[in-house]
C-alpha cells in the first residue's frame, strides 16, 4: 500500500495537476474536431443483375422430375425454363446453413436470396405461417446469413427483404397485424442496417404490388423513410414488387414511377426496382379483379425470363425482371393443418400441396399458357383444359394418393407416404 501511494504521488498522469503536453501549450486552443463521417454507406452503383445469374439446381431438378408427364413439345419448352434464374428463399430455421452451398456453387455468378423469416410473418396467416420465434432470434438469423456472405467477399448477392411485410404494415388492420406492426418495423430496419451495409450485397425492400399499394405511394414512401431513418448504417439499392403475384409488368412499372416520385419528393433519390415476372405471362387483370386470389391463380402463365436491365430506354428504373417466386412452388393448400380458404376458391388451381411444395400440375398449366418458351408457344389455345386428377390405384384399397413423393414404407402394393397423419399411396408420377 505504501509503495502504491508513493508511485501515485510521483505520477504526472492522474489528477487535475497533470501537466499539459509540452508540444501543446495549455494556452493554445485545441484542434477543431474532425467533421463526423456520414454513417450511410455510398449507394452501390453496380446492378448485380447485369452479371451472369445463378441457376438454382434444386429448381431445375424439380422440373426434370416432371418431364415424364409432359408431351414431347412441352418437354422442350420446360427445358428452356430450366435455364431461367430463380431466387433462393431463406424461410426456415435451417436456411442460414443453406447460404454457403449456394454461394460456393454460384462462384462469380449473381445469387438472389429472399429473406422471409420475420417473426409472425404475414401476420400469422395459415398458408405462410412461420418465421423466427422473436426479434432476437430474427436478428441472429440476419447476422448469421450476413457473416456467411462476408466470408465470400467476391460473391455478388441480391437480398430481397421480407415480401409482404411492408404491405401488411400499410393495410393490415386486423388485431393480428396491428399487434406486430412495431416489431415488424424494427425487424425490417435491422435487416436493412445489416444487409445494406455490405460491399457485396445489394439490398431491396419489398413493396407489395400495384393492386395492393399503388393507390398509396405517398404512404409507402413515408414508411420507407421511417424504416431507413432507423437503419443508420445501411441503405437499400431499391425495391421489389409483385413477389409471388401475377400482375402485368407495365402496370407494375406505373407503380414504380409513382413510388419513385413520392420518394424523391421527400429526399430519397436514385432508387431502382425489380419486378417478379415468374407468373406474369398472361394478363390476369380482369380475372384477378374478381377475387384478388393470391393462391395458385388458375389463369397464370409463366412470364418473361429473368434478366438485368430489361428495357433501359423505356423503363430506366428497372434493375431486372426476375423469377423471385419460383413458379409452381405452391402458395398454399386448402387441406391439412395449414389450409387457407383462399386456396379453396374456384379460381385457385385445385389439389395444391402446402406452401413451398412442388406443384407439378400447376407448372404444366402455366407452361402451356406461357407465350415465352418454345417456338410454338404463342399459338397455344387460349384456355387449356382444366386439370384432371390422375387415376390413383390406392383408392381401390381405401387410401388416397399422396400429393408429395416422400416414401415412408414399401410393400407388395407399392410405396407409401404419410399426409395429415394418415397413410397415402405414392403416385406413379413420382
- 186 assigned ligand-binding residue: no
Whether residue 340 lies in the annotated active site: no
Among the listed residues 164, 206, 340, 354, the single catalytic one is: 164
- Cα 345 off chain centre by: 25
The question of whether 164 is a catalytic residue gets the answer: yes
226-260 residues labelled b (16+ CB within 10 A) or e (exposed): ebbeebeebbbbbbbbbbbbbbbbebbbebbebbb
Phi-psi category of 404—alpha, beta or left, where left has phi over 0 and alpha has psi -120 to 50? beta
Place of cell 399411396: 425
- Does the annotation list 89 as a binding residue? yes
Asked if 394 and 425 count as a contact pair (C-beta separation under 8 A), the reply is: yes
Residue 209 assigned to a binding site: yes
215 is in an annotated binding site: no
- What's the CA gap between 235 and 191, in Å, rounded? 10
d(CA 79, CA 74) in angstroms, rounded, equals 9
Please provide the distance, in angstroms rounded to a whole number, between the alpha carbons at the two ends of the chain. Answer: 83
Whether the CB-CB separation of 128 and 332 falls below 8 Å is answered with yes
Residues belonging to the chain? 430
Dist CA 318 CA 239 (whole Å): 10
Asked whether residue 325 is marked as a ligand-binding residue, the answer is yes
- Catalytically annotated residue among 235, 331, 354, 415: 331
Residues designated as active site: 164, 331
- Binding-site residues for substrate: 89, 209, 212, 245, 294, 325, 329
Amino acid at each position: 500500500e505504501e509503495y502504491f501511494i508513493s508511485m501515485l504521488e510521483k505520477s504526472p498522469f492522474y489528477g487535475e495537476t497533470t501537466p499539459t503536453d509540452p508540444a501543446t501549450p495549455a494556452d493554445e486552443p485545441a484542434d477543431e474536431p474532425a467533421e463526423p463521417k456520414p454513417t450511410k454507406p455510398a449507394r452501390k452503383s453496380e446492378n448485380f443483375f447485369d452479371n451472369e445469374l445463378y441457376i438454382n439446381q434444386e429448381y431445375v431438378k424439380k422440373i426434370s422430375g416432371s418431364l415424364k408427364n409432359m408431351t414431347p413439345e412441352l418437354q422442350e419448352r420446360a427445358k428452356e425454363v430450366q435455364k431461367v434464374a430463380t431466387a433462393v428463399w431463406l424461410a426456415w430455421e435451417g436456411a442460414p446453413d443453406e447460404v454457403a452451398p449456394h454461394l460456393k456453387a454460384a462462384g462469380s455468378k449473381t445469387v438472389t436470396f429472399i429473406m422471409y423469416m420475420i417473426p409472425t410473418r404475414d401476420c400469422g396467416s395459415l398458408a405462410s405461417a412461420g418465421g423466427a420465434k422473436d426479434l432476437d432470434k430474427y436478428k441472429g438469423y440476419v447476422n448469421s446469413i450476413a457473416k456467411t456472405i462476408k466470408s465470400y467477399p467476391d460473391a455478388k448477392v441480391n437480398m430481397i427483404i421480407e415480401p409482404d411485410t411492408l404491405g401488411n404494415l400499410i393495410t393490415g388492420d386486423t388485431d393480428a397485424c396491428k399487434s406486430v406492426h412495431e416489431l415488424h418495423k424494427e425487424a425490417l430496419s435491422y435487416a436493412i442496417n445489416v444487409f445494406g451495409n455490405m460491399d457485396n450485397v445489394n439490398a431491396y425492400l419489398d413493396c407489395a404490388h400495384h393492386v395492393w399499394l399503388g393507390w398509396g405511394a405517398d404512404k409507402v414512401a413515408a414508411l420507407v423513410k421511417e424504416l431507413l431513418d432507423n437503419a443508420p448504417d445501411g441503405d437499400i439499392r431499391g425495391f421489389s414488387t409483385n413477389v409471388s403475384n401475377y400482375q402485368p409488368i407495365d402496370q407494375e412499372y406505373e407503380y414504380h414511377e409513382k413510388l419513385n416520385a413520392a420518394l424523391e419528393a421527400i429526399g430519397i433519390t436514385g432508387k431502382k426496382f425489380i419486378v417478379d415476372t415468374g407468373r406474369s405471362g398472361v394478363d390476369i387483370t380482369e380475372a384477378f379483379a374478381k377475387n384478388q386470389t393470391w393462391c395458385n391463380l388458375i389463369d397464370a402463365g409463366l412470364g418473361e425470363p429473368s434478366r438485368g436491365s430489361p428495357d433501359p430506354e423505356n423503363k430506366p428504373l428497372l434493375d431486372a425482371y426476375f423469377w423471385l417466386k419460383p413458379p409452381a412452388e405452391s402458395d398454399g393448400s386448402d387441406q391439412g393443418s395449414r389450409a387457407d380458404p383462399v386456396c379453396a376458391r374456384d379460381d385457385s388451381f385445385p389439389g395444391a400441396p402446402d406452401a413451398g411444395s412442388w406443384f407439378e400440375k400447376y407448372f404444366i398449366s402455366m407452361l402451356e399458357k406461357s407465350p415465352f418458351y418454345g417456338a410454338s408457344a404463342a399459338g397455344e389455345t387460349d384456355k387449356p383444359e382444366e386439370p384432371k386428377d390422375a387415376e390413383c390405384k390406392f383408392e381401390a384399397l381405401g387410401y388416397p394418393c399422396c400429393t408429395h413423393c416422400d416414401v415412408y414404407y414399401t410393400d407388395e402394393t407399392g410405396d407409401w407416404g404419410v399426409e395429415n397423419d394418415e397413410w397415402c399411396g405414392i403416385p406413379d408420377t413420382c
